[in-house]
Amino acid sequence: MRSIVNFQLSIFNYTRVVSIPLQSRLPRTYRIKEIKQETEMVRTYTFDGSLGARPGQFVMVWLPGVDEVPMSVAFDDGAVTKITFFAVGDMTDELARASVGDLIGLRGPFGTFYEWQPGQHIVLVAGGYGAAPMYFVAKETVGHGCTLEVIVGARGKEHLLYLEELESLPHVSLHIATNDGSVGYKGYNVDVLEKLLASCPVPPDSARGGKKKCLPVDQVFACGPERMLKRVSEITAHYSVPSQLSLERYMKCGYGLCGNCTVDPLGIRLCVEGPVVKNDLCVQITEFGRYHRDALGKKTMFS
């Protein structure tokens, strides 16, 4: 039944799909220019070309004969493109064996991106490899006169990513949370978010910029594990702060055709209407924080 609905959705959305340029839908090879071993299991590859990606968008990374998987764009300045990835399975283990000079297939960029207004005060919440796209957001937003509170979380200090890069940016206040307390706040990054919003709630529009000692938060952007995103959704809804969250589902085509990344009950495709989704829409996705589907469409509950 679900596949019939997805098929109908695919036909229905065909006109939107063809608006994605053909050259983005086909893989092109890019040479690895630089490799950075971030942690034991995480690597960043810099490719010798730009895909014109905006912060929050993703690319499909292709290793012929192995697999093709989605990855967030960690950086794109018009000259180079970066991805940061965990080696967690067949494709990513093989990808981690690549060397400088090797050619890798990339398709994209795909999906929605984070949106902001110049001069806004924004909180970024990052967990796991989510720190990479959040750095891309940070770099672009400070260039537009935004000020940032960035909360990076990990299990322990050896798993924290992109701290040096974030610290090097102006107008960034960095907060660190580790589950084991090895550095920064002992606990979750979302606890830090809650404390931050509680200490500086959003005033009514007329009182914005009033006598408060802290800057009212205009928006919260988040990228990380789904359980973390669910808490960000709940906390920001409670404090009436708009938020944009990067949601992930199993992706195949990446541009709206196969229907594999649709979510219940809305049927929106997260490769087109996401991955960055405004919280007003996230709260209508009943599977959000509860389950996702594998390559065959079988439900898997989030633990």
The answer to whether residue 277 forms part of the interface with ligand FES (CB under 6 A) is no
Choosing from 128, 256, 275, 289, the residue that interacts with ligand FES (CB under 6 A) is 256
Residues 12-51 that bind ligand FAD (CB under 6 A): none
Total residues interacting with ligand FES, rule: CB under 6 A: 12
The answer to whether residue 69 forms part of the interface with ligand FAD (CB under 6 A) is yes
Stretch that binds ligand FES, among 78-86, 145-153, 223-231, 255-263 (CB under 6 A): 255-263
Choosing from 159, 269, 292, 293, the residue that interacts with ligand FES (CB under 6 A) is 269
By the 10 Å C-beta count (0-12 exposed, 13-18 middle, 19+ buried), 300 is classed as exposed
Residues 102-131 that bind ligand FAD (CB under 6 A): 129
Q: Which residues pair with 151 in a beta bridge?
A: 125, 175
The answer to whether residue 70 forms part of the interface with ligand FAD (CB under 6 A) is yes
Q: Report the C-alpha gap between 259 and 261 in whole angstroms.
A: 6
By the 10 Å C-beta count (0-12 exposed, 13-18 middle, 19+ buried), 207 is classed as exposed
Beta carbon of residue 59, minimum distance to ligand FES (angstroms, whole number): 13
Neighbouring CB atoms inside 10 A of 47's CB total 22
Residue 260 contact partner, candidates ligand FES, ligand FAD, none, CB within 5 to 8 A by sort of partner: ligand FES
Q: Report the C-alpha gap between 248 and 298 in whole angstroms.
A: 15
Comparing CA positions, the residue from 17, 39, 253, 249 lying closest to residue 157 is 39
Question: Between helices 226-238 and 189-199, what is the axis angle to 10°?
Answer: 10
The answer to whether residue 64 forms part of the interface with ligand FAD (CB under 6 A) is no
Residue 254 contact partner, candidates ligand FES, ligand FAD, none, CB within 5 to 8 A by sort of partner: ligand FES
Q: Which residues pair with 105 in a beta bridge?
A: 29, 62
Contacting positions for ligand FAD (CB under 6 A) = 58, 67, 69-72, 83-86, 88-92, 129, 132, 248-251, 275
Contacting positions for ligand FES (CB under 6 A) = 251-254, 256-261, 269, 271
